[in-house]
Each structure stands twice: as structure tokens, then as C-alpha cells.
């Protein structure tokens, strides 16, 4: 065992990162943010099981926000259908 690898045996590689490494069609963007927002991002990263990179955490947050937006758009239609019955 390499002396620098002690304690790293329980870290799992994020599947999204592996997928990103395989994909060459991604567009790279630069993002500037205040330190307090960066601290929030790091806190959210630590809440994940696999401690994703900052860029991966931003991807996940965007995906979650988009899914929540879609669910919210569907929700009023369901309420209308429930009230009609």
C-alpha cells in the first residue's frame, strides 16, 4: 500500500465523474461566485455520500432544480384532476 493512500480505501468514485470523463461533448464554462456561496456549495457536497467535486455538485443541483420545476408544473394539473372527481 502506498503511504499516501492510507484512509482512502472507503472513498467511492462518483459515477457521474466517470461518465463525464468518458464524454467529450461537454461544454466548459467558468463560474464566479462569492465565498459564502462557495462555502454553501462545499457544505452540500459534504452531505452527499460520495463527496462530489464542486462542478459535479453544481450539475446535481441544476438537475434537481429542473426536476423539481417539472414536478411543480405537473402538480397543479393533478390537483385539477382530483378536484374534478
pTM of the predicted protein model = 0.59
pLDDT at residue 52, rounded to an integer: 95
58 CB-contact burial (10 Å; exposed 0-12 / middle 13-18 / buried 19+):
middle
Question: For residues 61 and 44, is the Cβ–Cβ distance under 8 A?
Answer: yes
Q: pLDDT tens for residues 47-83?
A: 999 999 999 999 999 999 999 999 988 776 666 666 6
Question: For residues 18 and 1, is the Cβ–Cβ distance under 8 A?
Answer: no
State yes or no: pLDDT of 17 exceeds 90.
Answer: no
Give me the residue spans of the domains in the chain: 7-84
Amino acid at each position: 500500500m502506498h503511504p499516501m493512500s492510507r484512509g482512502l480505501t472507503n472513498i467511492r468514485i462518483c459515477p457521474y465523474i466517470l461518465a463525464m470523463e468518458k464524454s467529450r461533448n461537454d461544454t466548459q464554462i467558468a463560474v464566479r461566485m462569492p465565498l459564502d456561496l462557495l462555502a454553501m456549495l462545499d457544505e452540500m457536497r459534504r452531505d452527499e455520500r460520495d463527496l462530489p467535486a464542486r462542478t459535479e455538485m453544481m450539475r446535481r443541483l441544476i438537475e434537481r432544480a429542473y426536476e423539481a420545476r417539472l414536478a411543480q408544473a405537473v402538480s397543479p394539473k393533478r390537483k385539477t384532476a382530483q378536484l374534478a372527481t
